[in-house]
């Protein structure tokens, strides 16, 4: 009798544990799915041979953001280059995506960075730079309409 009760208790305990693990696993998966994928766009940028477009994203908030990819598209929406490498950005950390200019001449492109996270979209600040063949920034701007680099004539 004692062995039968112990076996019944063990089987009941195992069944309850299995159900608990299944519920926990499903709940954890649903929590991850609840975070929608969002993105930020640079707007159109003109780039030519010998130049590089650099799109930067910095987490200026208080919660982590997961960058799930960055890409450059031409003005027709054709994918030029893409990175689907995920990266956790803690507050104060940033990531950059580069696109070299085309040897075919000037082209209009735009950059898109995709992310998920508990933070507000305002905590992801972006900036864009045009870098010439010497490695110097020739122009830059951010998503807050701030000029990052002044034209050489403005600095005189």
- Tens-of-pLDDT digits for all 156 residues of the chain? 566 666 676 666 555 556 655 555 555 444 444 567 788 888 888 888 888 999 988 988 888 888 888 999 999 999 999 988 888 989 999 989 888 887 778 889 999 988 887 666 678 888 888 888 887 776 666 665 444 444 444 444
Q: Which domain range does residue 28 map to? A: 1-34
Pairing assessment for the beta strands 107-117 and 124-131 based on DSSP bridges: unpaired
Do 28 and 50 share a domain, yes or no?
no
**In the chain, how many domains are there?**
2
Do 109 and 42 share a domain, yes or no?
yes
Do 43 and 19 share a domain, yes or no?
no
DSSP state of 101: P
Do 25 and 92 share a domain, yes or no?
no
DSSP-based three-state secondary structure for 54: strand
Do 97 and 23 share a domain, yes or no?
no
Do 69 and 89 share a domain, yes or no?
yes
- Residue 58 and residue 94 in contact, taking contact as beta carbons nearer than 8 Å: yes
């Amino acid at each position: 009798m004692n062995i039968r009760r112990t076996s019944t208790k063990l089987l009941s305990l195992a069944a309850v544990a299995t159900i608990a693990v299944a519920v926990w696993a499903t709940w954890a998966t649903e929590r991850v799915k609840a975070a929608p994928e969002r993105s930020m766009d640079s707007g159109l940028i003109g780039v030519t041979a010998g130049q590089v477009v650099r799109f930067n994203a910095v987490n200026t908030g208080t919660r982590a953001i997961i960058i799930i990819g960055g890409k450059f598209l031409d003005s027709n929406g054709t994918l030029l280059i893409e990175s689907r490498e995920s990266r956790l950005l803690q507050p104060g950390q940033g990531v950059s995506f580069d696109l070299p200019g085309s040897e075919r001449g000037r082209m209009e492109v735009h950059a898109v960075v995709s992310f998920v996270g508990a933070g507000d979209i305002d905590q992801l600040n972006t900036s864009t730079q045009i870098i010439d063949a010497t490695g110097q920034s020739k122009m830059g701007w951010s998503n807050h309409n701030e000029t990052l680099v002044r034209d050489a004539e403005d600095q005189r």
